[in-house]
């Protein structure tokens, strides 16, 4: 055990947990009725992953991203994706300028992607050419133009949104790009009580300013602690089995997967799930990842990576239902007790 | 050492104990069923040993040991048990991490870990075990009488056995069977009766039939011998009575002496054949018969008193034989047609008086008379003797098991279009060795609508002779077929 990595001490973890708690509190204070969503978005950010928000217009997607940027004191840019949007409109372009010496040279003018948080609004309305221009930025956190690669500022997150209605004239994201999003989060409508509070407390929809902001050091500390959240081998094994079981020809695949899934998730999903589970443990103030952390992030991680077949479309079965079955049927521990024997909490 | 380990080890022991308990209970149900069957089997066939419970206890202990060993071999992976312990305690991976990293700084914060309970839905297993236990107790307590009734339903053959015993008694009392043979038969009969089972009645019936058949064969052989002796005795008795009635004049002395001579020959023959059994006679009659035989053997005629005693001895022997036949018939050991031959009506048809006259005419030659008057004397073996038809008697039905028809290859027939009508018959067609039978039937020469089917054609070489026969003088011949 002496060669094992040292587990975080409570004194090391507690400050990080306090920071995450304050971030969540500020987000909850600014955006009403979205506590679980805020937690999920913060989980994604701590995992350094990109998030795809899916919901109807006017539900507060932009406000969410703006609030996060404000609380974390990160640069924030918003790009409204349209069919005529060109890659250079996002990445930046070279323009011909005259220098002080009178010579002319191509000067790179950075695009809006050079920021910490990029809100790609209605990303599915951009052309595939523009969408694919985002691939390098999302995976490599860099932009290569005219043979020159430029690193993006760190941290860099893409929070994209897409509208599930008005699909005419849109370009659904290809699987390769969907796979680069850590989460796909459904943006549901809030209930009447929350709406009432919004009406009474948010005149003109103005967001209140956060009364606490995280510093860059806080954010770096969070990332440092994140690196030391311990993932036990049985949990890693469970993640691996979970991802493998999304493939219909796998031995542990449940019946719904065999019936409705055409292609399972990629290894990138397993990596994303491990990271997201670590972040979830950090938010809970634990130094180790448990099965419950995996269960908390499994659906947002995998629901956009699962490719269903036509039978699922006919039967109106979505990825969420398939994943629900998968999580219910796959035994986390791998402990094979007889069917009539079960463990109960004391 | 981590503070988690003791609780984890307790949990592992609890799971293992539950698995052993589960196996033992489920196997116990099976064990009770098997033990019940074994107990039933032993009780059906013999008696349970006095220390039977020791064997049961030992086998159950062995079963527990096997269950323990098997579950020890199948013990779940400790890592999986640790993971399950973590999950049940909502420890957030701390218990799992304790196996890989130092978690002591967090164990105080996590507090004491509770032992998860291992629950087994044992309702069906308990139900099965209780049912098996009830079966076992029932097998242990059910009265053997009923148990044996179930295992071996009785076969009611007491009447048959009693009849056979009576037959053997008769055969023994009539000296047909020696005491040793009779005892052997009784032992065999008792063995058949003991082994009689309703599960396999045919075996018992066949054995009884075999015994009955053997008895009948022996009795019938004896009855036929007795009948033969009886006939001889009848002849001798008839001759004796005729001699007794002969006039005692000088002219009849020759016939009388010749008759006595032949009577002596008959008596000697009877004596050699064993028809004259002195054991069947009173002592004074035995002595008289011995004396008469001695005189007859020396060619001397017995006096009237000796002849009378001799006839009495013959009648006594006849009665003994008739009594033997009657007893055998009563026990059903001889067939009715054989029994009828012993009836008095069947014993010769001549009155001694006329026979005496005949003897006188034939000079006392009784053998010549027999040859001439054989049928009238009612001698056995003639074609006009005996019942017209034997009564039908039915025994037990024979089994059809294994019976099959003998395969017989039918002969090839000519094609239908080449066939021609040979005649119409009500008898079954004859099966030949494959040859066509056209033109060889009995109706081959018959004409439709009349004529004798047996009319044979007149061959050319006979035609002249036939024509001459019908044209002989004084005969109006019918038309000769050309």
pLDDT in the model for residue B379: 44
ipTM of the complex: 0.81
Averaged pLDDT, A265-291: 91
Averaged pLDDT, A65-82: 86
CB contact under 8 A, A341 and B120: yes
What is the average pLDDT score of chain B? 74
CB contact under 8 A, A7 and B97: yes
Of A7-11, A79-83, A265-269, B284-288, the range with the lowest mean pLDDT is B284-288
pLDDT digits (tens, 9 = 90+) for B235-275: 777 777 777 776 665 556 666 667 767 777 777 777 777 76
Q: Is 90 exceeded by the pLDDT of residue A217?
A: no
A–B: how many Cβ contacts below 8 A? 133
Q: Is 90 exceeded by the pLDDT of residue B114?
A: no
Torsion of Cα atoms, A138 then A139 then A140 then A142, to 10°: -20
pLDDT in the model for residue A276: 92
- Percentage of chain B beyond pLDDT 90 is 2
Q: Nearest chain B Cα to A238, which residue?
A: B83
Averaged pLDDT, A328-343: 84
Residue from B455, B447, B450 nearest B421 by CA: B447
- Round to whole Å and give the CA distance between B309 and B282: 11
CB contact under 8 A, B117 and A343: yes
- Round to whole Å and give the CA distance between A270 and A278: 12
- Taking CB atoms and an 8 Å cutoff, what residues of chain B touch A285? none
CB contact under 8 A, A10 and B106: yes
Q: Nearest chain B Cα to A289, which residue?
A: B93
Of A42-56, A222-236, A260-274, B191-205, the range with the lowest mean pLDDT is B191-205
- Taking CB atoms and an 8 Å cutoff, what residues of chain A touch B109? 10
pLDDT in the model for residue B364: 64
- Taking CB atoms and an 8 Å cutoff, what residues of chain A touch B102? 1, 4, 6-7
Q: Is 80 exceeded by the pLDDT of residue B158?
A: yes
CB contact under 8 A, B100 and A1: yes
- Per DSSP, A230 falls in state B
CB contact under 8 A, B88 and A290: no
Averaged pLDDT, A146-164: 86
So where are chain B's domains? 4-111+120-150, 158-217, 222-377
Of A200-214, A316-330, B354-368, the range with the lowest mean pLDDT is B354-368
The CATH architecture that domain A229-335 belongs to is Orthogonal Bundle (1.10)
**Is residue A61 a contact partner of residue A207, using CB atoms and an 8 Å limit?**
no
B82–chain A nearest CA distance, Å: 9
Length of chain B: 482
pLDDT in the model for residue A139: 84
Q: Is 60 exceeded by the pLDDT of residue B444?
A: no
Cross-chain CB nearest to B92 (options A6, A9, A284): A284
Averaged pLDDT, A25-34: 84
Residues of A with CB under 8 A from a CB of B: 1, 4-7, 9-10, 230-235, 281, 284, 286-293, 332-338, 340-346
pLDDT in the model for residue B433: 52
Of A221-225, B174-178, B368-372, the range with the lowest mean pLDDT is B368-372
Q: Which residue carries 């050309």 as its tokens?
A: B482
**Is residue B98 a contact partner of residue B79, using CB atoms and an 8 Å limit?**
no
Stronger pLDDT, A176 or B424, i.e. the higher one: A176
Q: Is 60 exceeded by the pLDDT of residue B395?
A: yes
- Taking CB atoms and an 8 Å cutoff, what residues of chain B touch A6? 101-102
What are B59's two structure tokens?
A: 């086998």
**Is residue B152 a contact partner of residue B44, using CB atoms and an 8 Å limit?**
yes
Stronger pLDDT, B233 or A250, i.e. the higher one: A250
pLDDT in the model for residue B422: 64
CB contact under 8 A, B86 and A291: yes
Q: Nearest chain A Cα to B14, which residue?
A: A343
What are A34's two structure tokens?
A: 């979205």
- Taking CB atoms and an 8 Å cutoff, what residues of chain A touch B12? none
pLDDT in the model for residue B299: 60
CB contact under 8 A, B97 and A336: no
Q: Within a 10 A sphere around the Cβ of B402, how many other Cβ atoms?
A: 5
Q: Nearest chain A Cα to B77, which residue?
A: A335
pLDDT digits (tens, 9 = 90+) for A84-140: 889 888 888 888 888 888 888 888 888 899 988 888 888 888 888 888 888 888 888
Alpha-carbon torsion (A235, A237, A239, A242), positive or negative = negative
Residues of B with CB under 8 A from a CB of A: 15, 18-19, 22, 76-77, 79-84, 86-94, 96-97, 99-103, 105-106, 109, 114-122, 124
**B192: confidence class by pLDDT, cuts 50, 70, 90:** confident
CB contact under 8 A, B116 and A346: yes
The topology (CATH level 3) of A9-83+114-228 is Rossmann fold (3.40.50)
Stronger pLDDT, B482 or B294, i.e. the higher one: B294
Averaged pLDDT, B285-294: 68
What are B140's two structure tokens?
A: 């242990």
Count Cα atoms within 13 angstroms, Cβ side, for B260.
Answer: 24
pLDDT in the model for residue A10: 85
Chain A interface, best mutation among B83, B104, B106, by max A CB count within 10 A: B83
Q: Is 70 exceeded by the pLDDT of residue B14?
A: yes
pLDDT digits (tens, 9 = 90+) for B58-102: 888 888 888 888 888 888 888 888 888 888 888 888 888 888 888
CB contact under 8 A, A235 and B91: no
pLDDT in the model for residue B308: 75
Averaged pLDDT, B275-303: 65
**A279: confidence class by pLDDT, cuts 50, 70, 90:** very high
**Is residue A183 a contact partner of residue A51, using CB atoms and an 8 Å limit?**
yes
Q: Nearest chain A Cα to B1, which residue?
A: A1
CB contact under 8 A, A230 and B79: no
pLDDT digits (tens, 9 = 90+) for B333-364: 888 777 777 765 444 455 666 666 666 666 66
- Per DSSP, A116 falls in state S
Stronger pLDDT, A344 or B306, i.e. the higher one: A344
What is the average pLDDT score of chain A? 86
Q: Is 60 exceeded by the pLDDT of residue B440?
A: no
A214-241 exposure pattern, b = at least 16 Cβ within 10 A, e = fewer: beeebbebbbebbebbbbbebbbbbbeb
What are A113's two structure tokens?
A: 């992607």
Among B73-77, B104-108, B388-392, B447-451, top mean pLDDT goes to: B73-77
Whole-angstrom Cα Rg for chain A: 22
Q: Nearest chain B Cα to A346, which residue?
A: B116
Cross-chain CB nearest to B80 (options A230, A286, A333): A333
CB contact under 8 A, A332 and B115: no
């Amino acid at each position: 055990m002496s060669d094992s990595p040292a587990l975080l001490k409570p004194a090391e973890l507690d400050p990080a947990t306090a920071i995450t708690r304050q971030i969540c509190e500020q987000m909850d204070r600014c955006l009403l009725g979205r506590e679980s969503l805020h937690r999920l978005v913060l989980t994604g950010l701590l995992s350094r992953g990109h998030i795809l928000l899916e919901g109807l217009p006017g539900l507060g997607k932009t406000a969410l991203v703006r609030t996060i940027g404000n609380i974390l004191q990160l640069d924030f840019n918003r790009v409204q994706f349209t069919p005529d949007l060109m890659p250079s409109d996002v990445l930046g372009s070279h323009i011909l300028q005259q220098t002080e010496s009178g010579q002319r040279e191509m000067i790179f003018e950075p695009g809006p992607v050079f920021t910490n948080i990029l809100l790609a609004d209605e990303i599915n309305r951009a052309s595939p050419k523009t969408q694919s221009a985002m691939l390098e930025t999302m995976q490599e956190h860099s932009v290569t133009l005219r043979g020159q690669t430029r690193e993006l500022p760190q941290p860099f997150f893409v929070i994209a949104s897409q509208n599930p209605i008005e699909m005419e004239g849109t370009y659904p994201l290809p699987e390769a790009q969907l796979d680069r999003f850590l989460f796909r989060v459904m943006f549901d409508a809030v209930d009447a009580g929350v709406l009432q509070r919004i009406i009474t407390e948010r005149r003109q929809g103005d967001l209140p300013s956060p009364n606490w902001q995280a510093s860059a050091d806080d954010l770096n500390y969070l990332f440092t602690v994140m690196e030391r959240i311990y993932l036990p081998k049985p949990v890693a094994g469970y993640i691996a089995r979970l991802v493998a079981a999304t493939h219909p020809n796998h031995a542990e695949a449940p019946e719904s997967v065999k019936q409705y899934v055409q292609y399972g998730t990629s290894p990138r999903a397993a990596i994303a799930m491990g990271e997201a589970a670590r972040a979830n443990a950090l938010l809970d103030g634990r130094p180790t990842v448990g099965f419950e952390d995996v269960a908390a992030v499994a659906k947002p991680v995998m629901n956009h990576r699962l490719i269903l077949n036509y039978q699922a479309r006919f039967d109106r079965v979505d990825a969420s239902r398939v994943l629900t079955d998968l999580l219910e049927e796959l035994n986390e521990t791998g402990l094979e007790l007889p069917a009539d024997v079960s463990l109960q909490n004391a | 050492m981590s503070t988690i380990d003791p609780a984890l080890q307790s949990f592992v022991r609890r799971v293992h104990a539950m698995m052993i308990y589960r196996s033992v209970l489920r196997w116990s149900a099976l064990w009770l069923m098997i033990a019940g069957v074994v107990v039933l089997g032993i009780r059906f066939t013999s008696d349970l040993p006095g220390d039977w419970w020791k064997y049961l206890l030992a086998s159950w202990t062995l079963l527990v040991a096997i269950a323990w060993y098997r579950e020890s071999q199948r013990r779940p992976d400790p890592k999986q048990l640790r993971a399950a312990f973590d999950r049940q305690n909502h420890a957030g991976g701390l218990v799992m991490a304790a196996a890989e990293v130092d978690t002591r700084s967090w164990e105080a914060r996590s507090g004491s870990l509770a032992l998860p309970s291992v629950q087994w839905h044992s309702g069906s297993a308990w139900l099965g075990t209780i049912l098996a236990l009830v079966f076992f107790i029932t097998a242990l307590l059910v009265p053997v009488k009923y148990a044996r009734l179930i295992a071996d339903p009785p076969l009611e053959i007491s009447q048959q056995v009693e009849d056979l015993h009576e037959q053997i008694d008769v055969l023994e009392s009539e000296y047909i069977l020696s005491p040793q043979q009779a005892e052997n038969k009784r032992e065999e009969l008792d063995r058949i009766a003991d082994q009689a089972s309703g599960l396999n009645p045919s075996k018992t019936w066949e054995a009884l039939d075999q015994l009955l058949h053997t008895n009948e064969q022996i009795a019938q052989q004896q009855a036929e011998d007795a009948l033969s002796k009886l006939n001889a005795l009848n002849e001798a008795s008839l001759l004796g009575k005729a001699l007794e009635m002969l006039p005692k004049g000088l002219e009849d002395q020759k016939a009388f002496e010749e008759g006595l001579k032949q009577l002596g020959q008959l008596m000697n023959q009877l004596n050699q054949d064993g028809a004259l059994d002195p054991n069947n006679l009173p002592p004074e009659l035995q002595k008289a018969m011995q004396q008469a035989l001695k005189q007859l053997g020396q060619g001397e005629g017995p006096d009237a008193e000796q002849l009378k005693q001799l006839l009495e001895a013959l009648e006594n022997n006849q009665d003994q034989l008739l009594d033997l036949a009657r007893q055998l018939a009563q026990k059903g050991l001889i067939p009715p047609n054989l029994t009828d031959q012993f009836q008095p009506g069947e014993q010769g048809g001549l009155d001694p008086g006329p026979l005496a006259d005949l003897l006188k005419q034939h000079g006392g030659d009784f053998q010549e008379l027999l040859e001439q008057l054989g049928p009238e004397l009612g001698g056995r073996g003639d074609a006009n003797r005996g019942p017209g038809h034997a009564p039908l008697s039915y025994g037990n039905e024979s089994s059809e098991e294994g019976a099959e028809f003998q395969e017989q290859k039918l002969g090839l027939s000519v094609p239908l279009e080449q066939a021609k009508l040979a005649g119409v018959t009500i008898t079954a067609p004859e099966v030949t060795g494959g040859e066509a039978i056209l033109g060889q039937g009995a109706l081959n020469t018959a004409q439709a609508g009349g004529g004798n089917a047996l009319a044979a054609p007149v061959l050319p070489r006979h035609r002249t002779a036939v024509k001459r026969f019908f044209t002989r003088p004084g005969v109006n011949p019918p038309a000769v077929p050309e």
